[in-house]
Amino acid sequence: MGASASETATIKPAKKYFIVSSDCHVLEPPDLWERRIEAKFRHRLPRVEIDEKGYKVLIIEGGRPLRIRDFTLEGEDLERAKGGRPDLESRMKDLDRDGIDAEVIYPNRGLLMWASPDPAMQTAMCKVWNDWAIEVFGPQKHRCAPVAAVAPKDVESAVKEVRHVAKMGYRTVFLPVQVQDQPCNLPLYDPLWAAIQETGMPISFHVGTGKDPRTATGNGGAIINYVCHALSTAIEPVVQFCASGLCERFPELRFGTVEAGIGWLAWTLWVMDEGYKKHHFWVAPKMAMLPSDYFRRQGFATFQDDPIGIENRKWVGIKNLMWGDDYPHHEGTWPRSQEVIDRTMSDLTEEERRQVLGLNAAKLYGFEVPTT
């Protein structure tokens, strides 16, 4: 006997792809750092104050006060603003709604953990996140991989934290995309790269970290900050890793950029090689491969809605690209990810889609892919 009409209507079609969002966020409890950080650092935390004109301003150690503007959100903008809470039940429903099987989770307020110029303050803030995030998301480790935040400026402390978070069960290390006055290509970081390589954890450089990107003011400031002071900063660690001999010394080290898109990546790989070959008389060190080859061997980059990057994927390599919905941020694709995927990935083969949407991230972060 065949199924009834009502039974047939409830049958869901087979899921075509295993999908990992390689870039999601969680809205931490507003008092997380106030409750958990060492008392000697508490008075130095980022905070909101009222200035002499009656405006709300964000006070961040090491930066200028930033005015907080009130505005009204509607529709999906409002829905996104209410998303991302550290409530596993509602979060799993939001993942299901967007067709997401697993996620890599970054902080929200915690993107400011490296704002202070004091390495000890940075380390203390990272420890708070690391202790809290594994507590919250550990019970859903088959679907959730929170990132372990590490403050790299004090290399000795950073090495200790890397070994500590590896024992805690973390699967990836999160470093700031910019380290003021101490770039990634300096040999002093070698003990840190060695420790990370030993754990097997990849490194993620999420944009908007290390230096507050909200530095431009005046007309066009929001877009200038987004393009120039947030997204484009991802170029620097890629070039530093690939051109400095770092990848040659640490051939098993995996590294990548997060939430910067991939449209810039093809050009970056090309121009690194151009500089290496045409400026050869200045270039040091001489390496066994071209800079772009090290990225293709060890690098990765995530994107949300980036048709230009997808169109130029042949210059990068499909195995180096990973999609993410950036839940619940406004520049992300949640809760309409499937529409974006259909619109931007029509030229990808079925195998390319499988890799970009989930298999590349599953391999990198250790998510189990169903066999059926």
Please count the CA atoms within 13 angstroms of the CA of 14 that sit on its side-chain side: 4
Count up the domains in the chain and report the number: 1
Query: CB-based contacts of 347: which residues, under 8 Å, 6+ apart?
Result: 310, 311
Q: Is residue 63 part of a domain?
A: no
Domain-embedded: residue 225: yes
Q: Is residue 57 part of a domain?
A: no
Burial of 334 (0-12, 13-18, 19+ CB in 10 A): buried
Instruction: State the amino acid at position 205 in one-letter form.
Output: F
Token pair recorded at residue 318:
């499909």
- Evaluate whether 316 touches 265 at the Cβ level (below 8 Å): yes
Chain segment 232-281, per-residue pLDDT in tens: 889 999 999 999 999 999 999 999 999 999 999 999 999 999 999 999 98
Q: Which residue, among 146, 160, 255, has the nearest Cα to 200 in the 3D structure? A: 255
Q: For 33-65, what is each residue's pLDDT tens digit?
A: 999 999 999 999 988 888 888 888 888 887 777
**Distant-in-sequence, close-in-space partners of 232: CB < 8 Å, separation ≥ 6:** 260, 264
| Average confidence (pLDDT) over 62-90 | 80
Most confident of 10-24, 60-74, 85-99: 85-99
CATH number at 355 reads 3.20.20.140
Residue 255 lies in a domain: yes
Q: What are phi and psi of 264, to 5 degrees?
A: -80, -15
Three-state DSSP at 337 gives helix
Does residue 2 lie in a domain region?
no
CA pair distance 121, 133, nearest whole angstrom: 19
Span 157-162, average pLDDT? 98
Region 211-224: what's the mean pLDDT? 80
pLDDT of residue 227: 79
Is 181 a domain residue? yes
Note the residue count of the chain: 372
Torsion of CA 331, 358, 98, 171, to 10 degrees: -80
Domain that holds residue 22: 15-43+83-365
Contacts with 299 (C-beta within 8 Å, 6 or more apart), sequence order: 238, 241, 242, 254, 255, 256, 320
Only one residue has tokens 């990132």, namely: 147
Distances (CA, A) of 166 to 10, 176, 257: 43, 18, 21
Q: Is residue 70 part of a domain?
A: no
Q: Which stretch, 5-9, 80-84, 293-297, 332-336, has highest mean pLDDT? A: 293-297
Within a domain: 1: no
Pair of tokens at residue 107: 């902080």
User: Is the pTM higher than 0.85?
Assistant: yes
